[in-house]
Structure formats: structure tokens, C-alpha cells
């Protein structure tokens, strides 16, 4: 996720370029991403520093209209029967409703792929990616 200071700098720049005092110089900007995934990286920063660096902590957040996608199209068209189950699991974990044991998320065996070597891991994740014609 971008540091809020970068977005605020973009706001100031667009106001200057467009000579318009409105937010983002009056231009509609589309941001996308999952705010639950990653906080901005602050070297040697505390969790509070990371939270303060988030776009949600910016003065601009009040002008942002969040839109939520409700269908995971990758899970729908991927052809993997476990894809939808895994997608639902990720949402449950992200929404903090998935059961935990001693603060740990325990995945079902059918969602895990255990491998014994780095080569097996690469093969499991990427398949025959090295044989894709260029």
C-alpha cells in the first residue's frame, strides 16, 4: 500500500498543475487494493508508525468513496474446485471470523500442499512455467 504522504504529494501536485484548489485538482482518481493486505513499510518503525502512514490516516480519506467487489472472479473461472473454498477462507481470516487455536490459524489439510524440497515447491506453485514458449 502506498504511504499516505505519496498520495498527499500527488494531491498537491495535481492542484498545482491543474491550478485547481479541489482535491486532486478536480480529477477523479481510482485507487485499488485490499487494505487488509499490507501496511506501508516504515524502516525501523512501530506499528503505530505504519498505521499513521496509511491512506486511511490521511486528511484525504474523507474524500474517498470505497467500493467493494463482492465476487472473486479468479475463484469463479479458475477451474480449481478448491479455489472458491480458499477464497472464502481468506475472507474469513481477513474479517477475523475464522476460528483460531491459541491465536493461530489452522488450515484444513485439503487446502495445504506439503512438499519436501524447494524443487517440489517450485513445481507445485509454477507447474511447467519454464516450458512456456516465449
Q: What are the strands, taking DSSP E only, across 20-101?
A: 100-101
* CA dist 10 → 2, 15, 28, 57, 85 (Å): 11, 8, 12, 16, 39
- Per-residue confidence at 86, pLDDT binned at 50, 70, 90? confident
For the CA atoms of 57, 60, 65, 67, what is the dihedral angle to 10 degrees? -50
Q: Is residue 88 part of a domain?
A: yes
Contacts of 82 (CB under 8 A, 6+ apart): 110, 111
DSSP 3-state percent helix, strand, coil across the chain (nearest 5): 50, 5, 50
State whether 43 and 94 are in the same domain: no
- CA–CA dist 68, 32 (Å, integer): 10
Looking at the fold, whether 78 and 49 belong to one and the same domain comes out as no
Domain boundary residue among 22, 43, 63? 63
Res 103: pLDDT: 83
Q: What is the mean pLDDT of the chain?
A: 84
Q: How far is CA 77 from CA 14, 57, 128, in A?
A: 39, 36, 20
Same-domain check for residues 82 and 113: yes
Is the pTM higher than 0.75? The answer reads no
Instruction: Kindly state whether residues 51 and 80 are assigned to the same domain.
Output: no
Residue 98 pLDDT > 70, yes or no? yes
Residue with cell 479455489: 83
Same domain, yes or no: 123 and 80: yes
Domain that holds residue 94: 73-131
Judgement on whether residues 119 and 94 belong to the same structural domain of the protein: yes
Question: Same domain for 52 and 96?
Answer: no
Confidence class for position 19, pLDDT limits 50, 70, 90: very high
Answer whether residue 84 is part of any domain: yes
Same domain flag for 48 and 82: no
Same domain for 79 and 119, yes or no, is yes
CB 67 within 8 A of CB 31: no
What's the structural domain count of the chain? 2
Task: State yes or no: pLDDT of 119 exceeds 80.
Answer: yes
Amino acid at each position: 500500500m502506498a504511504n499516505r504522504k505519496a498520495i498527499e504529494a500527488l494531491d498537491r501536485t495535481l492542484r498545482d498543475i491543474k491550478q485547481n484548489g479541489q482535491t486532486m485538482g478536480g480529477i477523479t482518481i481510482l485507487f485499488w487494493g485490499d487494505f487488509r493486505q499490507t501496511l506501508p513499510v516504515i524502516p525501523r518503525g512501530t506499528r503505530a508508525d505504519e498505521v499513521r502512514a496509511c491512506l486511511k490516516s490521511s486528511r484525504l480519506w474523507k474524500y474517498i468513496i470505497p467500493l467493494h467487489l463482492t465476487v472473486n472472479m479468479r475463484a469463479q473461472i479458475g477451474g480449481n474446485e478448491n479455489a472458491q473454498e480458499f477464497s472464502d477462507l481468506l475472507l474469513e481470516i481477513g474479517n477475523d471470523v475464522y476460528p483460531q487455536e491459541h491465536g493461530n490459524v489452522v488450515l484444513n489439510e485439503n487446502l495445504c500442499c506439503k512438499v519436501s524440497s524447494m524443487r517440489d515447491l517450485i513445481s507445485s506453485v509454477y507447474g511447467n512455467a519454464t516450458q512456456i514458449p516465449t
